[in-house]
Structure 1
Amino acid sequence: MMMIFGMFVFSIPTATYQSLQRSTSWNHANNSRFGTSPAYQYTGKGEDSITLDGSIVPEFGSQLSLTALRLMGDTGKSFPLIGGSGKIYGMWVLESVDETQTYFFKNGKPRLVEFSLKLTKTQTAGVLVGNVLGNIVGNIL
């Protein structure tokens, strides 16, 4: 397992990604000042996003994987993102799925399906861990 997003597992039988790009921003408001540079004030965290670029070879994986991800996106819900090493990234929404099919068989089935997913963070890992632990303790009591 490379990573899990909600109940979707990134692996050879489903879909593998070859690159993970993460972009984090912070917000700063600026105030113009006469005769000098603008003054900047930190106003909070900005957007945190991850782009996963990968491929599916239909002989080894299923194109249904992208259908499953699209169905997850249709819900509009946030899902936990957890790396294969156990790193908890927090809660993320699926913003977009891009798909490119190439190298076709005679029947029109692609030999290679490349994809790009954009995820955007909605909650921090600390909130996710707190919610999970709270649910565990609540179920025990």
Structure 2
Amino acid sequence: MMMIFGMFVFSIPTATYQSLQRSTSWNHASNNRFGSMPAYQYVGKGEDTITLDGSIVPEFGQQLSITALRVMGDTGKSFPLIAGNGKIYGMWKLDEVKETQTYFYEDGLPKKVEFSLKLTKTQTAGVLVGNVLGNMVGNVL
């Protein structure tokens, strides 16, 4: 398993990604000053996004994997994102799925499907861990 997003597992039988790009921003309010450069004030975290680029080849993965991701996006919900090494990224929503099909068989099925997913963070990992632990303790009691 490379990574799990909600109940979707990125792996050879489903879909593999070849690149993970993460972008994090911070917000600063600008206050113009007469005769000088603007003053800036930190006002909080901005967006945190991850883009996963990968491919599916019919011999290993299934094109149905892209459909499953689209169904997850249709829910509008956030899902936990956890790396195969156990790193918890937090809660993320699926913003965009791009798909490119190339090299077709005679029946029209693609020999290769490339995809790109854009995820945006909605909650910190600490909140996710706290919620999970809180639920576990609550279920035990």
Would you say same fold, with TM above 0.5? yes
Once residues 135 and 34 of structure 1 are traced to their aligned partners in structure 2, the CA distance between those partners, rounded to angstroms, is 54
Aligned residue identity for 1:61: G
Once residues 136 and 13 of structure 1 are traced to their aligned partners in structure 2, the CA distance between those partners, rounded to angstroms, is 31
Q: What residue ranges of structure 1 are gaps of 5+ in the alignment?
A: none
Moved over 3 A (4+): none
The equivalent residue for 2:17 is: 17
User: 1:116 Cα shift?
Assistant: 0.1
Aligned residue identity for 2:23: S
User: 1:59 Cα shift?
Assistant: 1.5
What is the aligned length?
141
Once residues 116 and 132 of structure 2 are traced to their aligned partners in structure 1, the CA distance between those partners, rounded to angstroms, is 29
Aligned residue identity for 2:121: K
Aligned residue identity for 2:125: A
The equivalent residue for 1:67 is: 67
* Correspondence 1:139 to 2:136: no
Aligned-residue sequence identity (percent) comes to 84
TM-score, normalised on structure 2?
Answer: 0.99
* Correspondence 1:3 to 2:6: no
1:86-101 mapped onto 2 (5 Å cutoff): 86-101=86-101
Once residues 112 and 52 of structure 2 are traced to their aligned partners in structure 1, the CA distance between those partners, rounded to angstroms, is 17
Q: What residue ranges of structure 2 are gaps of 5+ in the alignment?
A: none
The equivalent residue for 2:27 is: 27
Query: For 2:137, what is the secondary structure of its paired residue?
Result: helix
Q: What's the RMSD between the two structures over aligned residues?
A: 0.4
Query: For 1:136, what is the secondary structure of its paired residue?
Result: helix
Once residues 119 and 19 of structure 1 are traced to their aligned partners in structure 2, the CA distance between those partners, rounded to angstroms, is 14
The equivalent residue for 2:81 is: 81
1:49-68 mapped onto 2 (5 Å cutoff): 49-68=49-68
Aligned residue identity for 2:72: M
The equivalent residue for 1:129 is: 129
Query: For 2:52, what is the secondary structure of its paired residue?
Result: strand
